Amino acid sequence: MPGPTLILASTSPFRRQLLSRLGLPFETADPAVDETPLPGEAPEASAMRLSEAKARAVATAFPDALIIGSDQVACLDGQVFGKPGNHENAMRQLQTMRGRRVNFFTGLCLLDAKSGRVHLRGVPTLVTFRDLSDDEIENYLRKEQPYNCAGSAKSEGLGIALIARIDGGDPNALIGLPLIALCDLLRIENISAL
């Protein structure tokens, strides 16, 4: 008897590509969630809340599915760096982060839509940025245009050249879907990629 349908509550091609590595059949759905942080909300709390909100947003359309939600927030000295949206904001973000160590915190949710059971994990990744010149940042932004990436750093592309060091327990977390934690959560629900 086949298990429940697996749904990725994301339109990110990078998250879809990561999940496909597990070899499990899945579908994607657009969660259409407002990602604005709540007033006074800690960055980690925001990522966790939004990962669950994304999963819940598609649950009614897939009432018998296991739904994966994920969200990432970049934080430096209490300042949150979300998706920049445009070139100017991305330039400011990267100028602020250059030569510094930034926490990219990824929230992960696995929701069993049928039972309502929720599993949550938070996965931090500390990224040390190179001390880049304005010209280097400008060149990167013109080539990559990472305006929909938290912190303007698309590590799965040219953004890797911005980075001096990555410290974390899952290299996939920085791209936006921590597969090690996800495998743990799927095993709790009796789903294994092996």
DSSP-derived secondary structure for the chain: ---PPEEE----HHHHHHHHTTT---EE-------PPPTT--HHHHHHHHHHHHHHHHHTT-TTSEEEEEEEEEEETTEEE----SHHHHHHHHHHHTTSEEEEEEEEEEEETTT--EEEEEEEEEEEEP---HHHHHHHHHHH--TTSGGG--TTTGGGGGEEEEEES-TTGGGT--HHHHHHHHHHTT----
42: how many CB neighbours lie within 10 A of its CB?
16
| Paired tokens of 26 | 């899945």
Residues labelled as active-site residues:
71
